[in-house]
Amino acid sequence: MDVRSRLAANLRRLRGEHGWSQEEYADRAGIHRTYVSDIERGARNPTISVVEKLAVPFAVTASDLLA
């Protein structure tokens, strides 16, 4: 699985575990909802700074989100 697919799967799993909608999670991460949606489909190639923002609401690291 490539790194975009791993990120997508981790986001979907963690967001589900927290019971957050894409919109609620996007607000918490400070990222637009459509961008979260695209990342969860593996349709985007985000920068590492974006991955760091995505990690904050889950209290994990950017490294964790790509593992």
**Contact (CB, 8 A) for 10 and 64:** yes
Site map 4..43 versus a second copy, x via CB under 8 A? x-xx------------------------------------
Choose one: 14-22, 25-33, 49-57; the region binding a second copy (CB under 8 A).
49-57
Query: Residue 30: phi, psi to the nearest 5?
Result: 75, 35
Residue 6 contacts residue 67 (beta carbons within 8 Å): yes
In the complex, the residues that contact a second copy under the rule CB under 8 A are 2-4, 6-7, 45-49, 51-52, 61-64, 66-67
